Structure 1
Amino acid sequence: MKLNLVSSWEITVKEGQHLDKGDELGMFHFGGSTHCLVFGPDVKLAFDFHNTEPGLDATNIPVCSHIATVLTND
């Protein structure tokens, strides 16, 4: 199973700023995407990473791109 959550957060207070109870400290921005791919243990896949490698330095794969092919036992 693969699960990704793409989002960010923003701190809106400045160092030394006085805050009262209930004042905003910051906010989350959920403008990205969440996706989950689930496969049974017998499914064999050939992934297309679009000339990047999974990890923190990976580049984005365009929306609607081919990401994998299910391999058959032929």
Structure 2
Amino acid sequence: MSIPELASLLSGARAAVGVDTGLTHLAVALKTPTVAIYTATDPGLTGVLGAGFHRNLGGKAQTPSADAVLGELQGVLA
């Protein structure tokens, strides 16, 4: 799938959940509500930023629980 195709898919999504990758940052740039998961990097340095709903969960050596991720996602989809 090309980047433009991915952007089209993400822009039409109700929400996105992703790890510290360019696609997660792309979802936020497209104003798709996003829950970003960090486990090896500091979201204070590399976390998602932008308008609209987005949450950075976890951190360096801090894996967020599945319940925390699902809770944030359910808040977006409610």
Q: TM-score, normalised by structure 1?
A: 0.23
Q: Which has the larger Rg?
A: 1
Identify the structure with bigger relative contact order (alpha carbons < 8 Å, sequence gap 6+).
Answer: 1
Q: TM-score with structure 2 length normalisation?
A: 0.22
Task: Looking at secondary structure, tell me which structure has more strand per residue.
Answer: 1
